[in-house]
Amino acid sequence: MRWGFGVATRAFLVLMSCLMAGQMAWSTAVCAQPSGSLRRVGFLWIGTPDGSPSPSLASFRDGMRERGYLEGRNLAIEVRDGRGDAARLGPEAAALVASGVEVIVTQGSGPTAIAKQASSTVPIVFGAAGDPVGRGLVASLARPGGNVTGRAIDLGWNKAFELLREAAPNIRRAGLLYHAPSVPAGYLPIFLAERKTAAAALGFDLTLLPISSLDEVEPALAGFATAGGEALFVNGDPGLVTERRVVLPLVLRYRLASVCTDLRLPEAGCLITYGDDVNDSFRQAAGMVDRILKGAKPADLPIEQPTKFMLIINARTAKALALTIPPSILARADEVVE
């Protein structure tokens, strides 16, 4: 005798087999995806010189897992990076396109622009990019057009400068520490102009401190401090963030009031940090990737924008600098590191 099962019955049996595995929430999500359909996604970011993995990639994986995608079962993620050198990203982006991935997820404005140059047809979802309209990544926030969409990020530089001015009204000489190879050549003028404008608007004399390796950080800080430097803005370059437990103590050693926009830096000693949660942004970006894999077009998916920003004050660093943070700032802080 042959047994015949309807579609609903077969689906019920598959679901029950998953639930019997004893991991109800996880199994239900996995079974929600079509069996046997391996979806291929690329991930492109600037990378770090030592090859450290991107924390944002872990968050993206979490977001995909929450939507029923598991690597090795129904998802394959191919990661490409430039080892901290933007000049190496072009070939990596081209390799992703040639590999046949269905969507490319990018981290940052520079990698997004490079991915866009590599293909005008493969969907691109940026998990975090500043001013995507102004930088020519999309036509508008409501209707991106083309093959690019994603989640915008407000790097918070204008607010960061304002907070430093409020916390230390007498500071005039500020430096900007950034890893030059991480910034694509075409984006460098925009990158510098944005920060110079924000600094000048609040009366800061901004000194640029580009470095190309971690070995250059201490000489740059020593020279800046000797020349009368008082504060330092630490850019959220992957290399600097990865080495934060080396970089931030050096900043403190040279008695510089540090300001950051990456939420991973306060615990390493950054005095004032203001920004949105990039890792959460990538977790949410997985939702856009899921929609595209199910047939949505990037051109029709509006750019998602951050809604929550965090202000974190490191009281230990303030004490070490003999700096009193005004109550007006402490009252607005989401967290104070004691």
Same domain? For 242 and 169 the reply is yes
Question: What would the pLDDT profile of 112-147 be if each residue is shown by its tens digit?
Answer: 999 999 999 999 999 988 888 988 899 999 999 999
| Percentage, residues of the chain above pLDDT 70 | 89
For residue 91, the model assigns a pLDDT of 97
Instruction: Supply the pLDDT for residue 33.
Output: 47
Q: Is the pLDDT of residue 292 over 60?
A: yes
If asked whether residues 76 and 117 sit together in one domain, one would say yes
**Could you report the per-residue pLDDT of 24-74, keeping only the tens digit for each?**
444 444 444 444 589 999 999 999 888 889 989 999 999 999 999 999 999
How many CB atoms lie under 10 A from the CB of residue 11? 12
Q: Which domain holds residue 101?
A: 37-153+278-300
Task: Select the more confidently predicted residue: 119 or 185.
Answer: 119
For residues 24 and 249, the model is more confident at 249
Same domain (yes/no): 204, 271? yes
Non-local (6+) Cβ contacts of 169 within 8 A are none
pLDDT value at 22 more than 60:
no
Query: Do residue 291 and residue 326 come from a single domain?
Result: no
| Structural element, H or E, at residue 69 | none
- Cα dihedral 147, 152, 158, 163, rounded to 10, equals -160
* Shared domain check, 296 and 269: no
Name the pTM for this structure.
0.81
**pLDDT tens column, 307-327:** 778 999 999 999 999 999 999
In CATH, what number is assigned to the domain containing residue 57? 3.40.50.2300
Task: Please give the C-alpha separations between residue 237 and each of 177, 261, 295, 309, in angstroms, as whole numbers.
Answer: 9, 10, 34, 19
Residue of 272, 240, 249, 269 whose CA lies nearest to 157: 272
CB atoms within 10 A of CB 248: 24
b/e code 39-61 from CB counts within 10 Å (16+ = b): bebbbbbbbbbeebebbbbebbb
Pair 207, 142 in one domain: no
Which residues are within 8 A (CB) of 229 and not within 5 positions of it... i.e. 6 or more apart?
A: 173, 174, 175, 207, 221, 254, 256
Domain count, the chain: 2
Give residue-wise pLDDT tens across range 75-86.
999 999 999 999
Is 336 or 185 the better-scoring residue by pLDDT? 336
